[in-house]
Amino acid sequence: MSNYTVISADSHFIEPPTLWTERLDKKYRDQAPHVEENEKGSFFVAPGLKPSRVSLGFAAGRSGKELGEYFKNAGYAAAPPGGWDPVERVKDQDVDGVVAEVLYTTFGMPLFRLQDADLQRACFKAYNDWVAEFCSHNRKRFHAVGLVSLEDLNAGIKELERCAKLGLKGAQIWGAPPPDRPFWTEEYDPLWKVAEELRMPVSLHLATGKGSGRDEQVKVSPSGKRPPFMTRNYVNHFQEIQRSFTDIIFGGVLERFPKLLLVSAENDSGWFPHYLYRIDHAYEKFNTMSDDPLPMKPSVYVRRQVMVTFQDDPIGPMTSQFFGEDNYMWASDFPHSDCTWPNSRTVIDGQFAGLSEQTRDKIVCQNVAKLYRITLDS
């Protein structure tokens, strides 16, 4: 095994099927997200949301040829217990040659689209309590990102503060806000201010937008053919994150809050250098027409305050010379279908072939350790 240290900047819990049915505030217990089994398979169910197959969350190590049948038939019995058992999780890390992980939700992601704000806050609170308990088993290897609802901004800020007190290392908000509450407005300034003061990185993770970026309805053609909706969402998922970052940057958020740290999580990275070119080009052409022009090029703010994660994206390391090796963070995405487990080091060796050890070490370890204040053994 190659002799370098690896930390995953984006891996995932698999919430136990009873997390919300047992931990949710009793007044919301009858609406608790839960798992249902029927003749069609195992599904994650929550009020107002389309049921989703639980197997989408834990297909680690399976090929594309295997996924179709696996998604249809696999239930919780097929899930790796390391998703919810900290002792087993360390074993999974050791198999993959990973010394620590930044851990995100799995089934909490669709809950960003819950319409009941009170229920969403209660679900996120129960989740944050559970992950804090999980991480307490091994604080060197587990570093969780909490869930924060922004339906009520003041309540969201209080939960952000509570996450920090629980020892969580960052906060995940919706990847794209509702169209009538864009990120460029000053509405969110109190949140950014507190996140900056707490030094809590704020993550915009794929598949968590409340905007119009995802296909929620499957339309059928006149011939009865369904669209390739999974493929469309998979390929286009970073578009809503681009819109969010554009609003944040050109809305002056990073100018007003120069120590605020943001993370683009699991949106890949190969597109980012071109995005930097594009926003700088827009700045040069149109900045003087803005009601509140930026005093610096947008790319300056991004390099100072934005981090980007990727897993199996060879374009990312290749373009580090354009974007900069200080802003990329490698991730395994374990145990999701897109993950590199149990062959992460083989993937890393291939993706970083021809690049310097310094570049590799920053991207697979040092950058994430610095961002989340992870102590490395000397």
Give the CATH number, domain containing residue 112.
Answer: 3.20.20.140
CA–CA gap between residue 181 and residue 341 (Å, rounded): 38
Residue that wins the pLDDT comparison between 262 and 210: 262
- CB-based contact 35:17 (threshold 8 Å): yes
262 is a domain residue:
yes
Examine the pLDDT at 341 and tell me if it is beyond 90. yes
Sheet of 52-53, strands arranged across: 34-38, 41-45, 52-53
Q: What is the mean pLDDT of the chain?
A: 92
pLDDT one-digit tens code per residue, 323-336:
779 999 999 999 99
**What is the structure's pLDDT at 316?**
84
Q: In terms of Cα–Cα distance, which of 37, 20, 79 is closest to 55?
A: 79
Amino acid at 343: N
Give me the number of domains the chain comprises: 1
220 is a domain residue:
yes
Based on its alpha-carbon atoms, the radius of gyration of the chain, rounded to whole angstroms, reads 20
253 is a domain residue:
yes
Residue that wins the pLDDT comparison between 39 and 191: 191
Count the Cβ atoms, other than its own, within 10 Å of residue 349. Answer: 14
Q: What are phi and psi of 40, to 5 degrees?
A: -95, -10
1 is a domain residue:
no
Cα torsion 205, 211, 217, 221: sign? negative
Mean pLDDT value of segment 238-267: 96
Q: What are phi and psi of 4, to 5 degrees?
A: -150, 160
Highest mean pLDDT: which range of 51-65, 110-124, 225-239: 110-124
221 is a domain residue:
yes
- Model confidence, pTM: 0.94
Residue that wins the pLDDT comparison between 238 and 140: 140
306 is a domain residue:
yes
Examine the pLDDT at 202 and tell me if it is beyond 80. yes
80 is a domain residue:
yes
Model confidence at 64, pLDDT cuts 50, 70, 90, reads confident
**What is the structure's pLDDT at 215?**
46
CA–CA gap between residue 177 and residue 142 (Å, rounded): 29
Mean pLDDT value of segment 133-142: 98
Examine the pLDDT at 228 and tell me if it is beyond 80. no
Residue that wins the pLDDT comparison between 312 and 366: 366
**What is the structure's pLDDT at 219?**
60
pLDDT one-digit tens code per residue, 145-163:
999 999 999 999 999 999 9
378 is a domain residue:
no
Domain that holds residue 118: 7-372
